[in-house]
Structure 1
Amino acid sequence: MLHGLSRTALNIIIIVCLLLISWIHLSQKDIENEPLEPLQLPSLNSGEWTYWTNNEGVSVLLRAGGNTDGGWLLLRGQQKSQPLFLPASNWADALRPQLASLPGKEEAAAVVISGPWPVSEQQAMAALVIQQQQLHGGNGSRQHWDSCLRQHSAGALWLADQLSLPWYKLAQLTRSQAETLSPPARTEWADWRLQRSRELRRQWQDEQGLIDIQADLAYHRLPDGTYQALYQSLADAQKTEVTEAMHCLPSQQGSPNE
């Protein structure tokens, strides 16, 4: 087919093909490095939680919730969480037989209550659980993610997801773990960022999901607003956040409650 072409014409065709291949390659590279548009993420409400200060130093969070039938009490221990649905009236009779099955006996724990009871009754519930389970507050100081991790928390969350770590354990990521992972491509990051923001919002909007979140925040003594800040960090986070987050990580794992 090309027999009738001169050597000069063939050379021109080859050069044009090489230029076309180079242009396609550069175009794809430019798209890969092009920043993603910010997500318009609805804000998360406060949840209207209040802390109850007790002599044992146990983290206790209370809120009006549930329904006319009753509400939830959740005890967050070191190994697991145990939710209990208690009736709106005669809750003490329903709670006492279940105390033996609750986790956290004689250990640091957190208590979260969301139901239709007055604050005074919620405090009485928490006091009964603390007394019967002989709970204590453990390390009384609030735990913080360092400033580098807070600035790149979206990237750290991606790393945690790849390693099947829950969101509240970002401070337990190590550099040796992260180095086994390859940063995501642009489309992969875009899909993950959108899906993850929806998951975080969906869990917050579900009452039992919200209770679980608050129990984790209280048990690990993370500052107020940690979850909301993590959610909002996904709005304009780019895939470079993953590499930046890797640079934040220590070589060895910190304490369990970080």
Structure 2
Amino acid sequence: MSTALVTGATAGIGLAFARQLAERHWDLVLVARDAERLERTADDLRTTYGVEVTVLPADLTDRADLRGVEDRLASPSEPVDLLVNNAGFGLKRRFLDNSADEETAMTEVLVIAPLRLSHAALTAMTGRGHGGVINVGSVASYLPRGTYSAAKAWINSFTEWAHNEYRPRGVTVMALLPGFTRTEFHERMGVSRQSAPDWMWLDVDQLVAEALADYEKGKAFSVPSARYKVLATAARMAPTRFLQRFQLVGRK
């Protein structure tokens, strides 16, 4: 039986990963801040799919909590075969309208946590000669949209390098680049569904199904849906001054 550790596992993309992996008979380690919600999620997965589910409450901005997750990934007696770095949040306001502490907390979750958790996971996985990491990024990484986009651009660069570095050692590293997705993410930011056209919103279950299929193919990047593949390609080619016209899409 394989084991996956999923961060941000109680809602949205993380929960969809947990459910689809459980459906494939993977045991799970679920990481999130809300211990009560973690337990409810774990109970539901155990009952529905008959898999083993361990909960690991952790605030990834807290270095002691983060170290606990790193230790679980590094455990030689309870190996983790797949790490899904999914935890994240966004800030609705622009850079100077947020405090430096708010911006730092977001960077801790979007960059520092994936870095440290990947370090722990890859050390163990390369030692065993197999395993994988899925880093949840964003198509926003191709847009000039402040520190969120910058953090997701870091995910792209890190993942592409790690994919090529560790593939010869039996480990697959892939970045998932979703666009607007029907989850709690934007609601927690205070952003309405009307902030982007209906056609831009993705179904979370289909998104994760495509991501897992791409992971099994050994891809370095997974961009869900044909429309976002086109948008991502166009964004990489378009001049920055043109892309800045779309700063407010998804922020209302």
Which is greater in Rg? 1
Q: Is the shorter-chain TM-score for this pair beyond 0.5, marking a shared fold?
A: no
The structure with more helix, counted as a fraction of residues: 2
Q: Which has the higher contact order (CA 8 A, sep 6+)?
A: 1
Q: What's the TM-score once normalised by structure 2's chain length?
A: 0.26
